[in-house]
Amino acid sequence: MKNIVIIILMLCCSTVLYAADSSVVETPLVVDAQIDSVATQSNSIYPMSLERKEKLTSYSLFNNIWRFTDFIISIIILFLILFTGLSAKLRTYAEKIPNKFFALWGFIVLFLALEYILLLPFHVYRSFLVEGEFGFMNQTFIEWFSEDLLGLGINMLLMIVPIFFLYKLIKATKYWWLKFTIGAIPFIVIMIVLAPIFISPLFNDFIDLENKELKSEIHSLAEKAGIEGSDIFQVNTSKQSSKINAYVTGMFNSKRIVLTDNLINHFTTNEIKFVMGHEMGHYVMNHIWKTLIVIIIVLALALWLTGLTIQKFIDRFKSRLKFDSLSDHASLPLLIIYMSFIMFMFNPVINSLSRYHEHQSDIYGMEVTDVDGEEAASAFDKLSVYNLADPNPHPFIVFWFHSHPSLQDRMEFVRQYRK
Ligand SMILES: [Zn+2]
């Protein structure tokens, strides 16, 4: 289960070009591969073999089932922590720390640790074993686990800020949901600004584009888009996974376009140009800010809806929960359950906006480059094949879960665009 902050941050920071359930490559990547020669190289992954097509089908089916399984498991574990009285016990234990602020922090650390341990078998299965089985995993278990613990540690450090203010406001005012949302705006903006500078580099190396020819191509593209001064980075995500991706992140001075080394190694120059044009579209059209506005509205609504009924729930089950008020820190897991359910229901709203942005960026990518429809389409086709992403998922899955239009729709669109 992603906690509230991470849900918000993930939503905000991931104006990612491609859906999360995208990528995979079976062989270790050749770092020095010549971009222009990739298409002509004999390659076991692209174009897709029948065997790989079967793999794609089973990976997509697995992901569709897992979306729901993961959600249900996470909720069950939070209910367990609540209804066994464990949450209240952890709170009482943390309150041995005399300082109230540090007592709350202690509770958050204990709660996150407990939740992490209970979810660990499922998390190892999904994020390590299954990724390995489908050929995406490039890390040993120890490497993967150390990075995962680092993520947990960062979470433990940062969660205190919003949760401290959240409970302070719950105790002080009945408009806590509104005041918290307003206060969350600068916090989220600061996190979006700082994450690419201080957090992402803890996991990967962000360097200047290595390929000089590509760099100058992209530089002239950026000039055309009117963003000459923008930062363009290459990131070694092949260290973790063979999935292919590109994204725009950051705000103000930390705003940047990031290309993964996997993308650079497997795409032709023209395919990369189209991807860059698409990313520049996000950049130029300020999609991060627009997404942030919607996230803030959804956050306010979700907190307001939570506030309407959560105290009644606590009153009904207080003898088992071992706390009787929302203002008790032990209610944190319940708040997360409420927020998860409501955010889940708001998925279609946020994803519709995202799909609209993606479509706008696809148009921008075609406009700003001279790449022909077939080349743009082959970029999407490669994404599908390398990442084992279903090019044509069920429309309901797209509507509810996908932040990007289906790859097939995007391919059809770019193919007919110049005509
Ligand atoms: Zn995009």
| Confidence band for 321, pLDDT divided at 50, 70 and 90 | very high
Q: Which residues contact 411 (CB under 8 A, 6 or more apart)?
A: 377, 380, 381, 391
- Cα of 411 from ligand 1 centre, angstroms: 14
- 232 within 8 A of 180, measured Cβ to Cβ: no
Token pair of 176 as six digits: 């806590």
Q: What is the pLDDT of residue 43?
A: 52
- Cα of 120 from ligand 1 centre, angstroms: 31
Number of Cβ atoms within 10 Å of the Cβ of 54: 10
| Confidence band for 13, pLDDT divided at 50, 70 and 90 | very low
Q: What is the pLDDT of residue 418?
A: 84
Which H helix or E strand runs over 150? helix 141-158
- Cα of 417 from ligand 1 centre, angstroms: 17
**pLDDT tens per residue across span 360-414:** 999 999 999 999 999 999 999 999 999 999 999 999 999 999 999 999 999 999 9
Rg (CA), the chain: 22
The Cα–Cα gap between 94 and 321 comes to 17
Tell me the mean pLDDT in the region 12-23.
32
- Cα of 161 from ligand 1 centre, angstroms: 30
Maximal C-alpha separation, the chain? 71
DSSP line for 256-322: EEEEEHHHHHHS-HHHHHHHHHHHHHHHHTTHHHHHHHHHHHHHHHHHHHHHHHHHHHHHHHHHHHT
| Confidence band for 20, pLDDT divided at 50, 70 and 90 | very low
- 346 within 8 A of 198, measured Cβ to Cβ: no
- Cα of 413 from ligand 1 centre, angstroms: 15
- Cα of 301 from ligand 1 centre, angstroms: 26
Which residues does residue 248 pair with via DSSP β-bridges, in sequence order? 15, 257
**pLDDT tens per residue across span 59-68:** 999 999 999 9
- Cα of 244 from ligand 1 centre, angstroms: 13
Side chain identity, residue 202: L
Kindly tell me if the per-residue pLDDT of 14 is higher than 60: no
Token pair of 343 as six digits: 């955010």
Token pair of 65 as six digits: 């089932």
CA 369 vs. chain centroid, Å, equals 28
- Cα of 281 from ligand 1 centre, angstroms: 8
Supply the pTM of this predicted model. Answer: 0.88
Of 36-50, 57-71, 158-172, 211-225, the range with the lowest mean pLDDT is 36-50
Kindly tell me if the per-residue pLDDT of 37 is higher than 50: no
Count of alpha carbons within 13 angstroms of residue 205, beta-carbon side: 8
**pLDDT tens per residue across span 266-277:** 999 999 999 999
The Cα–Cα gap between 334 and 306 comes to 10
| Confidence band for 182, pLDDT divided at 50, 70 and 90 | very high
Side chain identity, residue 310: I
Side chain identity, residue 204: N
- Cα of 156 from ligand 1 centre, angstroms: 30
Kindly tell me if the per-residue pLDDT of 40 is higher than 90: no
Q: Which residues contact 21 (CB under 8 A, 6 or more apart)?
A: 60, 63, 387, 389
Kindly tell me if the per-residue pLDDT of 222 is higher than 50: yes
Token pair of 181 as six digits: 């949302």
The dihedral region occupied by 241, where left means phi > 0, alpha psi between -120 and 50, and beta the remainder, is: beta
